[in-house]
Amino acid sequence: CVAAHLQGVEAVSLRLAPSPPLRAEPLRFLAEALLAAAAATGPAAAESFGEAWRIKGFIPVDGLGLVLLQGVGDQLTLEPWPHGLQEQQPYVVFIGEGLCRERLEEALERCRSGAAPAPALPAA
């Protein structure tokens, strides 16, 4: 039985190839836009990606190496992670509602080239 406040909550976990690394600015822009879409009101806030309430993972970033990505609300950090992942592959987890795995995968891949699209936010 799922508690009423958890109905509709989902987690999407994506494994990432370690190479080539993602670029920091497009990754930051994408993550901030996804978190902002979740905070916005109205059905168009996250129409193509879904609502990401929390983002967390270990991601290879160009010039930084492996980083710990953590995002919730208006807080986002990319912290260098010197410990490695031993035998695990880099990954990121999105927690939210109506998440579109395919579009999230495509957006992350575009971060490798620096051309990550942001979810469209509704006009204020």
Look-up: residue for tokens 């490798």? Answer: 112
First to last CA, the chain: 38
Residue 114 pLDDT more than 80? no
The CA distances from residue 37 to 5, 12, 32, 65, 80, in Å, are 20, 17, 9, 28, 26
β 10-15/75-80 pair status: unpaired
What CA–CA distance (Å, rounded) separates 65 from 116? 19
pLDDT band at 117 (very low <50, low <70, confident <90, very high): low
Looking at residue 115, what is its pLDDT?
A: 65
Q: Edge-to-edge, what's the strand order for the sheet holding 65-72?
A: 10-15, 91-97, 51-61, 65-72, 75-80
What CA–CA distance (Å, rounded) separates 34 from 29? 9
Q: Which residues are within 8 A (CB) of 10 and not within 5 positions of it... i.e. 6 or more apart? A: 95, 96, 97, 98, 99
Looking at residue 47, what is its pLDDT?
A: 52
Q: What pTM was computed for the model?
A: 0.81
Looking at residue 50, what is its pLDDT?
A: 81
Q: Where is pLDDT greater, at 13 or 5?
A: 13
Q: Report pLDDT digits (tens) over 30-83.
A: 999 888 876 664 444 445 778 899 999 999 999 999 999 999 998 999 999 988
What CA–CA distance (Å, rounded) separates 43 from 77? 27
Q: Report pLDDT digits (tens) over 8-25.
A: 689 999 999 988 999 999
Residue 1 pLDDT more than 70? no
Looking at residue 40, what is its pLDDT?
A: 63
